[in-house]
Amino acid sequence: MMREAWLPLTVLLALAAAPFIGFSASYEMTLMARAMILGMAAVSLSFLVGGAGLASLGHAASVGVGAYAVAILDAHGVTDAARVVPAAIGAAAVFALLTGAIAIRTNGVHFIMITLAFGQMAFFTASSLSAYGGDDGVTLYSRTEVAGTRLLEGRLAFHFICLGALALTWAGCAMLLASRFGRVLRAARDNAERVEAVGLTPYPFRLVGYIIAGAFGGAAGFLLANATEFVSPAMLSWQRSGELLFMVILGGVGRLWGAILGALAFVLLETWLADLTPHWKMIFGPMLVIAVLVLRGGLSGLVERRHG
């Protein structure tokens, strides 16, 4: 177990050390926070894709639902983390339950298209919330309070909160996949008929897995809303879901910690190219496609081969 964990632990330790080795500027801290939050969302999606074989194209909706829970509560004067965090995670979990109950009954392309449809439904619902900015989005009055303090407003404190949340997301998903529940989930991914033959029904396992991934997405949404202090329907769009799925593929499908690498690489490459040219997307897209085609097993596979 430790042999498998040393690579992701190295990545997490590097992120912990970053503010103390020259990456403490406001811009750099903001960039790392964004990468870690997206890493949380990507790890939870990797849990679905690699663990259950469910390639969702609507996962950003769970992140957005969590973010909107923060914004709506903030608009009504509720800013205590003890109430906001459970609300964000709970709202995303309920959304995953309601949509997953239908989507999980399908598989393959049908599952992808249904999750895409549900994600777009959530996007248009958010766009119609005129009381909370509609298409323009809504700005938070302030970041969520922790035990009556403004802890989340400190750059270093927020960095380590994001890092801790990322570590918990990775560890939680890894332990779930290593448990009996995870073994059934993976077995159903490989051969659902064989799982049914031994007396187990794959549907409830897949649904619970889908809800768990949604809950982790809601936690990422809570942090994303506080990081940007702004929430908009764009957070729920299918393009954001596509980016999360690409992070999973870039990092390496089947390796949870690969999603962290994928998110870091995606954010850093996107930022670097945007600084070089206003037409960065014309370069960014082909570069990502080439990376996926060339890197067998993604970035995590490349790292494992070099240190195997």
Q: Could you give the number of structural domains in the chain? A: 1
pLDDT tens, residue by residue, 18-67: 999 988 888 899 999 999 999 999 999 999 998 888 999 999 999 999 99
In the block, tokens 């270093």 appear at 156
pLDDT tens, residue by residue, 147-184: 889 999 999 999 999 999 999 999 999 999 999 999 99
CB distance 88 to 70 below 8 Å = yes
* Residue 288 counted as domain residue: no
Domain assignment of residue 173, given as a range: 27-236
What tokens appear for 75 in the block? Answer: 């608009």
pLDDT band at 308 (very low <50, low <70, confident <90, very high): low
pLDDT tens, residue by residue, 88-127: 999 999 999 999 999 999 988 999 999 999 999 999 999 9
CB distance 68 to 125 below 8 Å = no
Question: In this predicted model, which residue has the larger pLDDT, 276 or 16?
Answer: 16
CA distance 152 to 222: 11
* Residue 96 counted as domain residue: yes
* Residue 205 counted as domain residue: yes
* Residue 106 counted as domain residue: yes
* Residue 276 counted as domain residue: no
CB distance 114 to 106 below 8 Å = yes
* Residue 9 counted as domain residue: no
CA distance 151 to 146: 6
CA distance 61 to 114: 13
Backbone angles phi, psi at 191, to 5 degrees: -160, 95
* Residue 123 counted as domain residue: yes
* Residue 50 counted as domain residue: yes
What tokens appear for 20 in the block? Answer: 């103390």
pLDDT given for residue 181 in this prediction? 94
pLDDT band at 2 (very low <50, low <70, confident <90, very high): very low
CA distance 36 to 227: 11
pLDDT tens, residue by residue, 243-294: 999 899 888 887 888 899 999 999 988 888 888 878 777 887 787 778 777 7
Other Cβ atoms closer than 10 A to 157: 14
Q: What is the DSSP letter of 106?
A: -
